[in-house]
Amino acid sequence: MTTETNIFLGRNGKSDFLTPDFLVHRCLGSPYQDLRSADVVLVGEVLSPTNTQTDIEAKKGRYAGSGIPWYWEVTLDRAASAIATVRAYGLDIGHAQLPDGVHPLRAANYILAGEWTHENPDGIAIDFPFPIVIPWTEVEY
């Protein structure tokens, strides 16, 4: 897992990139190799009150359009200084049946595949893209 690393969305070049808050990627072939979207398994964003819904959807659309299979959103409970909700979205490259004449805005979209709050006493647990288990309890060092 890596935090705040640029993901270059095209197959070459460095002008089209995003910097997620956290990500999981495959092992790269050499040190200091550019991280391309094809190497990324999961990206995540920690949402703040300054994020507008338009900005969030635009960024999510760019991740989906580059083929990154999993997108996670973490929303914070500012009053409790804690995580409020974690949502996991899986990439859908097919499309739901839309009415005649209606076409999807993007070729690929994310579909909500999991959602967790503190009401889930066992914490976060999902089997995709690999088994992930994260308890809500604090870890003491």
pTM assigned to the model? 0.84
What are the structure tokens assigned to 111, written together? Answer: 């579909």
CA dist., res. 35 & res. 29, Å (int): 10
CA 3 to chain centroid, in Å, comes to 12
CA dist., res. 17 & res. 14, Å (int): 7
Q: Which residues contact 113 (CB under 8 A, 6 or more apart)?
A: 88, 89, 90, 126, 128
**Percentage, residues of the chain above pLDDT 90:** 49
CA 13 to chain centroid, in Å, comes to 23
pLDDT digits (tens, 9 = 90+) for 109-130: 899 999 999 888 889 999 999 9
Helices (H), 42-111: 53-65
Burial class (CB in 10 A: 0-12, 13-18, 19+), 40: buried
The backbone torsions φ and ψ at residue 83, rounded to the nearest 5 degrees and listed phi first, read -75, 130
CA dist., res. 33 & res. 103, Å (int): 38
Give the best-scoring range by mean pLDDT among 29-33, 52-56, 95-99.
52-56
- Tokens 């967790």 identify what position? 116
For residue 2, the model assigns a pLDDT of: 55
More confident residue, 104 or 100: 100
| Angle, alpha carbons 19-23-29 (nearest 5°) | 95
For residue 125, the model assigns a pLDDT of: 93
